[in-house]
Structure 1
Amino acid sequence: MKFQNCTILAFAILCIIFTKVTCETEAVTDGTTTTTPEPPKKKTPVKDSKLCKKCSCVINDNTSLLDCSEKLAGDWFTSDEWKDLIDGDVVFKTIKLEHNNLTAIPALPPYGVENLYLAFNQIENVTLGAFQNLSELVNLDISHNKLTTKTLVPDVFQGPYSISDYKPLPKLRSLNLGYNDLHSLDADIFEHCPQLEELVLCSNPFQIINKNAEVAISGLAYLKTLDISYLEIDSLPETVLHGPRDLNTLLAAGNEFKRLPDGLEYAQNLVHLVLNENPIENLVGDNVFPEMTNLKYLSMTFMPKLYKIGPGAFSELQNLTELILSDNKFLNEIDELAFPKNVTGGPYLDYPPLEHFYLNNCNLTVLPKPLLVRWDKVKVLDLQYNPWTCDASNDYLINVLIGQVNKTSPVLARNVQCASPEGLKDVPVLRVANEHLVENPGGSLVWIGLLVVLLIAIPTIVAAYAIKKRGCFGRFRRSDSVANRALYNRTSFNEDFHI
């Protein structure tokens, strides 16, 4: 009996084991699993976290912003604050940590931030791979810090680690390194962010673009915007602009260029160019713009020495729509042939289709009509604060252009004033036009001629009128009649005598 019970028990156990194995086999065969899924982690309501009480959290349909500027007092987030961020129910796409006296950037934990702003701190060191866990990072701003060439090494920007090597930061497109203490760049500094489209280097004491920096910048094949303003450089290697074939915006203000930068002809896709605050004296001879068929926007303002723009200065910029030449205190001459080019080889010249033209705060006295052919196409024309001459030499400005300006932008006509002649000094040109106050030497001669004629004609007419009133004209007529009759009678007498 005992044996029988043991046999039954063993059989039952075997059945259970068989059933379990069979079920597991079927589950594997069906491609499913019988493992009970873990319940999802409960998300932390970020809006109610301590971090959002310390910082400003903006969460709506269009924005998810965490602004901790001036809130961290020199320290990064605590472990609890990082945990609230990582486990939160909202991923902040933009995080601002500016003005916090941070001195270093540690290796940041995995997070879906897209825009990270670390400007206006005291950052001197960056941990290697500091950003490699930020797989969604698009814009990184580390400007206004204390970074040096020595501390800014290529592996700072390395991406996530793979089996054989570090991958690039997959989505990084904009990098701002402006206002640091960089004298150069490591030649391989951008090897982990080859997809960069915007690079800002402004206000670093480069003084020269050396070979390493040249290699680093020219290797960015997808670069579209380059800011090299205020680098204290007086020349630009040609290959810097030759490498980035898609470059469309170049900001090179506040440098020491005495001539137009070399290599501009290689920037064939350039659309916007800013050369403000450079000590270029003139655009004449061979110091004129090369052919740049895509350039539409050019700014050359606050040039401390620019006094003349000569023939052909802009003639190779045949698609230019906006030109800003304002605040050039010594600029007193723009040649009337600065713009035209004979593109077709025919009898007509071609001009760029300017729509916005700024000439305010210069030293211009005359604006020649032939400077442009289609002045009527210029939508905004700023001529304010120039010492304009109000005589016949400025006839087109006075009688046509100022009226056009007043019609399209009345505010821009207010401070267009005469500086000479003395009688019209400080008089608005618009008033000169409306009241016909212009002094015209040719017109004066005409008036003098008319006056002389009047002085001769009036006495003559008065004298004739007086003679008529006295009857002199009647006596003359009677004497003539008597003479005629006497002649007639004599003739008759002679005829009779012959008969």
Structure 2
Amino acid sequence: MRLAFVSLVLCSCLVYSTIGDQLPLCGDNCSCIFVDNKESAKVTCTKNVQILVTNPTTWINPDTNSSYQYLEITMTNQNFIELNFTFPANDLTYLNLAGNDIYRIKDSVFMNLQKMKVLILSGNDLELLSPHAFKGLYLPEGYEPLRALRELRLDHNRLHTLNQDIFEHTTDLEILDLSYNPFKVLDPHTVNAIDSLPMLKELYLSYTEITTLPDLILNAPKFLSLLDLSGNPINTVPKTLVNSHNLTTLYFNNTAFVNITVDNGFPDIPTVKVLHLCNLQNLERIEKGSLAGLTGLEELYVKDNIKLTYLDPFALPKTNEKSGGAVWPLLKKLNLANNKLAYLDSDFIARWDSLTELDILDNPWTCECENQWLVEDLTPLYLKIDNGKASHVKCGAPVEMVGFTFVELYDRQYKMRCLDLYGAQPEKDAALLVGVLAGVLIAIPVILFGIYAYQRRWFGIFNMCDNSPAAYSRRFYSTTSSDEYI
């Protein structure tokens, strides 16, 4: 049996070695993971293989004149500077050229990679892209397309603008990442380039230094479902979002909002189901009606906002001005973790029992009667949704309640006290009250002693203050000492 096992291992190693020897990129130059019954490989190259990559025999077997079976290739730290060679025909579906100091891409570099679905050019020095950088082979049904390309990552480069024809060969693109490029303004050429992608589903514009979106930019991409505007100095929700057709997920993390109100909040976008408002360093308040345009909202993430102290109970519902009625979106997931919220109104969402995920941890909740519902009504629901998180929600005030968990209070059926009419908190006045009492107790004997000493004339200072006739006589006629009679 041992012999059989050794034979099996030797055979496996032989097959691995044989296939590895058949793929020029595998071996000492790059690491390879073989898939599809070891007929193709996922290759990762971190050493400098520029000479090897530009050699046609790396891609095509000279003996059979067929392409080597590379499924995915990742090449980093190559210091290409300029991609000035054309990749030979190959069936690879994934090409990652991130972090290679690429400054320029020659026309038609990728034209022979007709099965490539994903192209990653992140973290390079690209500043300008030729309109034919992504040019493909001529096909009767399309204008020299890269017909399989669906995902293009251009993030972390130095792009300020895009040629309006840059995507004319990649019209079936579904995911476009332009994050971390210093656009500052999306000029008409860039807008036209994005509008030329009718099948676009995900657009990433985070940390591009833009303050808003141009009008009508979302008109053409009728299938756009995800838009990421995080990390930009945006303090007003772009009104052009109403022109979107199928937008379901919005990211506004780390933007410049201070207060989200009806005026700078969300217009009517009934298709949006997921909203992220996280890590907004200056956000303090979310006011009434500011989220009312999102009538189809199902997931709301408002977390890690270190200054957020107020959520209006009517921030979400859409109010009918004629009837006075209101309609809330039916939330399924709510995350309010790590803010500065002390109070939460039970009317903030319509059906707490419809939630499948909930997180209200790391807020300084005030355990007083205004939050009694959090203990009585929400805690039992929270325990069903997520027992672990529910067990760690704690009181942040008043001082005598700090550290108590909501679960403890629920188990004890604890009734939290209410503030008085003026919001006084007597527990904070304890030191002052003790000081006043001590002062009174010390002052009473001192005063009594002073009165007694005055009556007994123990201290001359009292006589100096006495202006009565008797006191005057005593001061004028001093008592004769016994020696004077001798």
Q: TM-score, normalised by structure 1?
A: 0.74
Query: Residue 491 of structure 1 corresponds to which residue in structure 2?
Result: none
CA gap 1:162/1:416 in 2 versus in 1, 3 angstroms: closer
2:205 is the counterpart of 1:228: yes
CA distance in 2, matches of 1:148, 1:326: 35
Contact 2:42–2:72 (8 Å) recurs in 1: yes
Query: Residue 19 of structure 1 corresponds to which residue in structure 2?
Result: none
Could you tell me how far 1:248 is from its partner in structure 2?
0.5
CA gap 1:69/1:264 in 2 versus in 1, 3 angstroms: same
Could you tell me how far 1:191 is from its partner in structure 2?
1.4
Counterpart of 1:407 in 2: which secondary structure? helix
CA distance in 2, matches of 1:442, 1:225: 49
User: Structure 2 matches for 1:116-131, cutoff 5 A?
Assistant: 116-131=95-110
2:71 is the counterpart of 1:98: no
CA distance in 1, matches of 2:419, 2:178: 58
2:37 is the counterpart of 1:58: no
Counterpart of 1:273 in 2: which secondary structure? strand
CA distance in 2, matches of 1:162, 1:388: 64
Query: Residue 431 of structure 1 corresponds to which residue in structure 2?
Result: 408
User: Structure 2 matches for 1:31-430, cutoff 5 A?
Assistant: 46-49=19-22, 50-54=24-28, 55-61=30-36, 64-77=40-53, 78-84=55-61, 87=65, 91-105=69-83, 106-149=85-128, 152-161=129-138, 167-342=144-319, 349-430=326-407
Query: After alignment, is 329-338 or 80-89 more displaced?
Result: 80-89
Identity across matched positions, percent: 31
Contact 1:237–1:262 (8 Å) recurs in 2: no
Counterpart of 2:27 in 1: which secondary structure? helix
**Max Rg structure:** 1
Could you tell me how far 1:71 is from its partner in structure 2?
2.9
CA gap 1:89/1:222 in 2 versus in 1, 3 angstroms: closer
Contact 1:390–1:438 (8 Å) recurs in 2: no
Contact 1:46–1:88 (8 Å) recurs in 2: no
Could you tell me how far 1:141 is from its partner in structure 2?
0.7
Contact 2:179–2:207 (8 Å) recurs in 1: yes
Contact 2:59–2:68 (8 Å) recurs in 1: no
Contact 1:73–1:101 (8 Å) recurs in 2: no
Contact 1:76–1:102 (8 Å) recurs in 2: no
What stretches of structure 1 of length at least 5 have no aligned partner?
Answer: 1-43, 444-499
CA distance in 1, matches of 2:417, 2:394: 17
CA gap 1:87/1:321 in 2 versus in 1, 3 angstroms: farther
CA distance in 1, matches of 2:52, 2:255: 41
Could you tell me how far 1:88 is from its partner in structure 2?
5.9
Contact 1:102–1:121 (8 Å) recurs in 2: yes
Over the residues paired in the alignment, what is the CA RMSD in angstroms? 2.6
Amino acid at match of 2:236: R
Query: Residue 425 of structure 2 corresponds to which residue in structure 1?
Result: none
Could you tell me how far 1:111 is from its partner in structure 2?
1.1
Contact 1:268–1:293 (8 Å) recurs in 2: no
CA distance in 2, matches of 1:182, 1:57: 33
Could you tell me how far 1:224 is from its partner in structure 2?
0.8
* Number of equivalenced pairs: 398
Amino acid at match of 1:219: S
Could you tell me how far 1:142 is from its partner in structure 2?
0.8
Between Structure 1 and Structure 2, which shows a larger proportion of helix residues? 1
Could you tell me how far 1:62 is from its partner in structure 2?
7.9
Counterpart of 1:116 in 2: which secondary structure? strand
CA distance in 1, matches of 2:378, 2:74: 49
Query: After alignment, is 185-194 or 384-393 more displaced?
Result: 185-194
Counterpart of 1:357 in 2: which secondary structure? strand
The Cα offsets for residues 152-204 of structure 1, whole Å up to 9 and x where unpaired, read as: 111111111479x9612222211111111111111211112112111100001
CA distance in 2, matches of 1:93, 1:207: 37
CA gap 1:291/1:268 in 2 versus in 1, 3 angstroms: farther
Could you tell me how far 1:316 is from its partner in structure 2?
2.1
Counterpart of 1:96 in 2: which secondary structure? strand
Counterpart of 1:401 in 2: which secondary structure? helix
CA gap 1:68/1:442 in 2 versus in 1, 3 angstroms: closer
CA gap 1:281/1:322 in 2 versus in 1, 3 angstroms: same
What stretches of structure 2 of length at least 5 have no aligned partner?
Answer: 1-16, 421-486
Query: Residue 457 of structure 1 corresponds to which residue in structure 2?
Result: none
CA distance in 2, matches of 1:190, 1:404: 50
Contact 1:184–1:212 (8 Å) recurs in 2: yes
